[in-house]
């Protein structure tokens, strides 16, 4: 594989991130109700402390979100989303000007604001543009890397008996259609996230995990957001705060099947997993 494959590198505001080797994204949630309380930061001081710890542990990028997407959660207004995000993004840019920052949002208005005000480097959209018809054109206008994730329904409804003809084939068709539309608009830097836990049963999640390498046919970087999710702790009959060991096992599985980016709560453990993966693969 070329060192800088066109399809496996991202232009993050002039910084070229080579995803032919795995990278780690640290999760920072400006929410009070995210499913794992270890990722929550109530304000900018706590966000800076969390970010500093993650960067010291080897995070390559930080992903900041202000809207909980746990099953059953209801959305907040765009005004409230920006009210939560703004002080945290301002503090992170001031304290860590060199670290790439992604924002987890499905709203094009939020994207425009955080890009203009804080110069964020990437957008992580749990809806792949399905919840905001202006999102794709906004991403194209800004020329910013874009994560498209699959979700069946919305966070409020997604676990209401999710159903597929074939979960892997259905997602491949979904992503092929979304990528085609983005390419027509001139979007180059696209990352694929199958959306573990977003409108999938336990069995469907593990089907996606076992067939994760099927998404390599899209010839785009693959991101796995599997950290401490219910597919891990429910299988192991535990809770999110006891799911680190299971998360590490799942991370190694997706790395062996082609993941380029791990979105994680526990950066140090993920970085160790990547190091061992690189030694054996």
Q: Which residue, among 137, 129, 83, 74, has the nearest Cα to 105 in the 3D structure?
A: 129
Largest CA distance in the chain: 48
**Beta-ladder partners of 26:** 62, 264
**Segments in the chain forming alpha helices (H):** 44-57, 78-95, 108-118, 135-142, 167-184, 202-210, 230-233, 244-256, 267-280
C-alpha R_g of the chain: 17
Residues 84, 107, 229, 271: which is the catalytic one? 229
Q: Is residue 93 flagged as an active site residue?
A: no
Element (H, E) at 262: strand 261-264
Which residue is it, tokens 């076992």? 210
Residue 135 DSSP SS3: helix
Q: Is the Cβ–Cβ distance between 100 and 72 less than 8 Å?
A: no
78 touches 110 (CB < 8 A): yes
To the query of whether residue 70 is one of the catalytic residues in this protein, the response is no
**HSE of 184 in the Cβ direction (CA atoms, 13 Å)?**
8
Exactly one of 50, 178, 263, 271 is catalytic; which is it? 263
Distance (Å, whole) CA 29 – CA 69? 11
> Using CA atoms, how far apart are residues 136 and 58, in angstroms rounded to an integer?
31
Residues forming the active site: 229, 263
């Amino acid at each position: 594989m070329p060192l800088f494959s066109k399809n496996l590198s991202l232009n993050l505001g002039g910084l070229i991130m080579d995803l032919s080797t795995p990278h780690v994204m640290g999760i920072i949630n400006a929410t009070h109700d995210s499913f794992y309380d270890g990722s929550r930061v109530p304000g900018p001081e706590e966000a800076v402390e969390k970010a500093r710890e993650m960067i010291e542990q080897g995070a390559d990028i930080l992903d900041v979100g202000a809207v909980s997407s746990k099953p059953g959660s209801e959305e907040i207004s765009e005004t409230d989303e920006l009210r939560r995000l703004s002080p945290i993004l301002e503090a992170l840019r001031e304290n860590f000007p060199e670290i790439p920052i992604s924002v987890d949002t499905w709203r094009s208005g939020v994207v425009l604001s955080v890009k203009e005000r804080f110069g964020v480097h990437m957008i992580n959209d749990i809806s792949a543009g399905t919840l905001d018809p202006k999102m794709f054109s906004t991403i194209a206008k800004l020329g910013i890397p874009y994560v498209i994730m699959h979700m069946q329904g919305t966070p409020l409804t997604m676990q209401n008996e999710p159903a597929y003809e074939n979960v892997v084939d259905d997602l491949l068709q979904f992503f092929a259609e979304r990528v085609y539309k983005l390419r027509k608009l001139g979007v180059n830097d696209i990352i694929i996230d199958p959306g573990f836990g977003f409108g999938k049963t336990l069995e469907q999640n593990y089907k996606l995990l076992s067939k994760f390498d099927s998404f390599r046919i899209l010839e785009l970087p693959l991101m796995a957001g599997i950290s401490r999710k219910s597919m891990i702790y429910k299988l192991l009959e535990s809770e999110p705060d006891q799911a680190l060991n299971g998360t590490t096992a799942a991370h190694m599985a997706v790395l062996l099947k082609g993941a380029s980016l791990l979105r994680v709560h526990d950066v140090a453990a993920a970085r160790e997993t990547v190091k061992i993966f690189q030694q054996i693969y």
